[in-house]
């Protein structure tokens, strides 16, 4: 029987970049639980996902009770359910027993857990305080959560489309400068990328963003120097953003050394602040009206922070599309 160590879990299951909440508040506990679970049980990733769902249900019930001891219990149960949610993926990667259907189940359970707990929290507070603001917050939180999923997926597809077009241009292929609808070009882009891998003509291409992600200790000048020595062409579609936001690049390198992604308020932090931090504010006061006001305040700040980061992502993408056009022209001119 294979014996797994904490080092195995860190090496084989940790993501190279992750949310700071996961890195600092989840992984230290989840990794140790994974070692025990993998070595002593035959529990499957899907069973762990189901366990996370059960804890999520308990959290929702506690939130619906509305009183401060129940709010604290609900927050703890929600955080523990997220720990289990991180464990299922780690077990799957460690043992190689994951499945496509399991990934779907994990995603669906995540969404059900968050929306169920969020609605239970706000409806419970509305029933306890009579404040309509809690009912108004539900559609706002739902909209922002759906927006960040839609925006993240489309931004990723657009970036992939730009990278593939630049790779083709660097290898001498003729490409269309327009970055079309990612959904309509996804199949064509995949085929182009596969063809590019089979072609030996033209210089090998490395993208600056990917190089910095793989080696956070390097800066842009070092990447260019290394690429020149290796005869590799560097393509940077974020040069415009880097010129305007030099402080961001320094912060980014510093965060990546600890595996923390620079998107500091992503969907994970959004969920945790609403379903963990907000209800925990009840510890500050047992009075329902005051506790309710604190929950509203944390929720509003969380919505504002998520929206601000989504706007920043769109701004960065807009600058990247401008650099993409210039880089494409430069490659076309040789």
pLDDT over 80 at 52, yes or no: yes
152-176: average pLDDT? 84
| Four-point Cα dihedral 65, 67, 70, 71, nearest 10 | 100
CB 259 within 8 A of CB 233: no
pTM of the prediction? Answer: 0.85
Interval 112-159: pLDDT, tens:
999 999 999 999 999 999 999 999 999 999 999 999 999 999 999 998
Interval 19-33: pLDDT, tens:
999 999 999 999 999
d(CA 308, CA 39): 43
d(CA 98, CA 12): 14
pLDDT over 80 at 34, yes or no: yes
CB 166 within 8 A of CB 327: yes
The pair phi, psi for residue 329, each rounded to 5°, is -65, -40
pLDDT over 90 at 332, yes or no: no
pLDDT over 70 at 177, yes or no: no
pLDDT over 70 at 73, yes or no: yes
Residue 207 bridge partners (DSSP): 235
Give the pLDDT band of residue 99 (cuts 50, 70, 90).
confident
72-89: average pLDDT? 96
pLDDT over 60 at 198, yes or no: no
In Å, what is the CA distance from 284 to each residue of 128, 248, 271, 273, 303?
17, 35, 21, 16, 22
Average pLDDT, the chain: 85
For CA atoms 263, 268, 272, 274, give the dihedral sign: positive
- Helix, strand or coil for residue 234? strand
Ordered structural domains, the chain, with CATH: 1-130 (1.20.120.1760), 132-334 (no CATH)
pLDDT over 60 at 314, yes or no: yes
264-282: average pLDDT? 96
Element (H, E) at 4: none
pLDDT over 80 at 183, yes or no: no
d(CA 37, CA 48): 10
Least confident of 134-148, 255-269, 313-327: 313-327
| Four-point Cα dihedral 180, 183, 188, 193, nearest 10 | 90
């Amino acid at each position: 029987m294979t014996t797994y160590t904490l080092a195995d879990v860190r090496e084989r299951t940790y993501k190279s970049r992750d949310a700071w909440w996961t890195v600092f508040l989840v992984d230290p506990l989840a990794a140790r639980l994974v070692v025990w679970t993998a070595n002593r049980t035959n529990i499957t990733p899907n069973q762990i996902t189901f366990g996370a769902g059960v804890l999520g249900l308990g959290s929702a019930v506690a939130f619906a009770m509305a009183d401060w001891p129940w709010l604290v219990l609900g927050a703890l149960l929600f955080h523990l359910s997220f720990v289990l949610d991180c464990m299922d993926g780690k077990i799957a990667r460690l043992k190689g027993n994951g499945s496509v259907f399991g990934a779907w189940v994990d995603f669906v359970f995540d969404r059900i857990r968050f929306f169920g707990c969020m609605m239970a929290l706000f409806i419970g507070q509305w029933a306890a305080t009579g404040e309509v603001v809690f009912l108004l917050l539900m559609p706002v939180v739902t909209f922002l959560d759906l927006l960040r999923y839609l925006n993240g997926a489309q931004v990723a597809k657009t970036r992939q489309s730009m990278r593939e077009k630049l790779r083709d241009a660097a290898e001498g292929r003729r490409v269309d400068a327009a970055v079309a609808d990612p959904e309509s070009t996804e199949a064509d882009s995949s085929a182009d990328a596969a063809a590019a891998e089979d072609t030996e003509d033209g210089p090998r291409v490395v993208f600056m963003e990917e190089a910095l992600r793989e080696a956070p200790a390097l800066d842009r000048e070092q990447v260019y120097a290394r690429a020149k020595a290796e005869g590799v062409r560097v393509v940077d579609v974020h040069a415009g953003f880097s010129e305007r936001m030099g402080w961001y690049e320094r912060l980014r390198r510093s965060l990546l050394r600890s595996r923390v992604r620079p998107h500091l308020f992503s969907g994970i932090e959004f969920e945790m602040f609403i379903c963990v931090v907000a209800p925990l504010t009840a510890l500050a006061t047992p009075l329902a009206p005051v506790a309710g006001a604190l929950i509203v305040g944390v929720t509003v700040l969380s919505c504002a922070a998520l929206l601000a980061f989504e706007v920043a992502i769109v701004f960065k993408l807009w600058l990247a599309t401008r650099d993409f056009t210039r880089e494409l022209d430069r490659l076309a001119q040789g």
